[in-house]
């Protein structure tokens, strides 16, 4: 199969769909890989590194799209990329369609087969291709939250871990999944006062066993969340409904109850965000303020640590990429129902129910 890797064009996105090591694996399986020039330069993978493992360097994204059968990316395709997709293409990347109806409609119009990393499952029911970026985003959420709590950043002027004689900051983590647990690991490492909120009692029990006395756990009732945001200096939204839009856990009118200079970090922003006042931001302009509360809602948080993120992502996505290339998308999905769960769009239709259910005007058409 002809596999193409275009350069990412989203704001400050330096990750790349395939590392040279991943290209080497595909070439060893008999495939041809075409990489847009400078696709990996942002993280020190120059064109020579790709050529050394058998890739062909092409000067433009247009040439990559016109040459390749499978397009491997990191972030969702931008409008100019969607315009280059054709029915014969297989697109393998993050999509997050529930938060983006124009992208969904554009992919439907293209006729391409679009497999989303974030809805591929494992035999255990987890999301193995989303996990590495959730780990990165969870750890980063505490890092950026602590930064924006600093007074010169507009924050409350609070040190996350406090000092002897001064209490640490309170951190409320909404969601005890992969992102939430990684946020908790970082926050407890900085000696913050951490509480994780979740609606799954079994998950709360697991978290309690994992962290012991390092954190507190609480059932995520509306009343509990309302009380949590009043007390916390840092609130991290880490909820996830696979493929669907994130639920809104904090209303606009509740911000007035929060401490001035407190910080909200919305990890769920790729799926529309879990705070009513959330709107996607970029690394160029990452924060904004509403009612004295700082909102950090960067839609590609892991792009800030692009080298770490690229290696972590490739570790998870490469095995499926090889199977798709070896067998073709149809046979690969027929052989692996967990990969088939990653199919979001094909043949002009939405194939993932949670995505279709998000939109009033788009029907769910299951793939036979």
Bridge partner residues of 217 (DSSP): 196
Q: How many CA atoms lie within 13 A of 75 on its CB side?
A: 21
Pick from 207, 206, 202, 196: which is nearest to 171 by CA?
196
Q: Check if 352 is active-site.
A: no
Q: Alpha-carbon distance 240 to 94, whole Å?
A: 15
Other Cβ atoms less than 10 A from the Cβ of 271: the count is: 26
Bridge partner residues of 70 (DSSP): 3, 90
Beta-sheet pairing, 293-296 with 287-290: antiparallel
Catalytic entry in 31, 96, 338, 352: 96
Please, are residues 267 and 298 in contact by the beta-carbon 8 Å criterion?
no
Please, are residues 358 and 121 in contact by the beta-carbon 8 Å criterion?
no
Catalytic entry in 266, 270, 295, 352: 270
Name the 3-class secondary structure at 296. Answer: strand
H helices of 149-267, where? 178-189, 201-211, 222-231
Helical packing angle, 20-28 and 306-327, nearest 10°:
10
Q: Alpha-carbon distance 90 to 10, whole Å?
A: 20
Please, are residues 142 and 173 in contact by the beta-carbon 8 Å criterion?
no
Q: Alpha-carbon distance 314 to 283, whole Å?
A: 23
Q: Alpha-carbon distance 43 to 74, whole Å?
A: 14
Q: Check if 270 is active-site.
A: yes
> Which residues lie closer than 8 Å to 206 by C-beta, 6 or more apart?
176
Tokens 């992919």 sit at which residue?
107
Report the residue count for the chain.
368
- Residues marked active site are found at 96, 270
């Amino acid at each position: 199969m002809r596999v193409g890797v275009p350069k990412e064009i989203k704001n400050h996105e330096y990750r790349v769909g395939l590392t040279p090591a991943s290209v080497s694996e595909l070439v060893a399986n008999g495939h041809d890989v075409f990489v847009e020039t400078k696709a990996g330069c942002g993280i020190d993978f120059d064109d020579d590194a790709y050529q050394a493992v058998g890739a062909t360097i092409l000067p433009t994204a247009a040439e990559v799209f016109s040459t390749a059968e499978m397009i491997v990316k990191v972030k969702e395709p931008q409008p100019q990329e969607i315009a280059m997709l054709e029915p014969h293409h297989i697109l393998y990347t993050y999509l997050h369609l529930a938060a983006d109806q124009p992208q969904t409609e554009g992919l439907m119009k293209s006729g391409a087969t679009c497999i989303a990393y974030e809805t591929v499952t494992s035999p255990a029911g987890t999301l193995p291709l989303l996990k590495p970026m959730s780990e990165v985003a969870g750890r980063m959420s505490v890092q950026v939250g602590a930064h924006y709590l600093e007074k010169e950043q507009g924050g409350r002027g609070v040190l996350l871990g406090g000092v002897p004689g001064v209490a640490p900051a309170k951190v409320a983590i909404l969601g005890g999944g992969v992102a939430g647990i990684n946020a908790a690991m970082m926050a407890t490492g900085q000696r913050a006062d951490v509480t994780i909120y979740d609606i799954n009692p079994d998950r709360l029990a697991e978290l309690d066993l994992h962290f012991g006395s390092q954190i507190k756990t609480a059932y995520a009732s509306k009343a509990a969340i309302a009380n949590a945001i009043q007390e916390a200096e840092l609130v991290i939204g880490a909820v996830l409904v696979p493929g669907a839009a994130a639920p809104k856990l904090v209303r606009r009118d509740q911000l007035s109850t929060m401490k001035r200079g407190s910080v909200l970090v919305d990890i769920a922003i790729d799926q529309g965000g879990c705070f009513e006042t959330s709107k996607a931001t970029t690394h160029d302009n990452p924060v904004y303020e509403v009612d004295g509360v700082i909102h950090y809602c960067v839609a590609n948080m892991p792009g800030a640590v692009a080298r770490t993120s690229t290696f972590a992502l490739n570790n998870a996505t490469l095995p499926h990429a090889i199977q798709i290339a070896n067998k073709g998308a149809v046979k690969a999905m027929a052989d692996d129902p967990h990969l088939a769960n990653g199919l979001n769009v094909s043949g002009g239709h939405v194939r993932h129910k949670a995505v279709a259910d998000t939109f009033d005007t788009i029907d769910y058409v299951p793939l036979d």
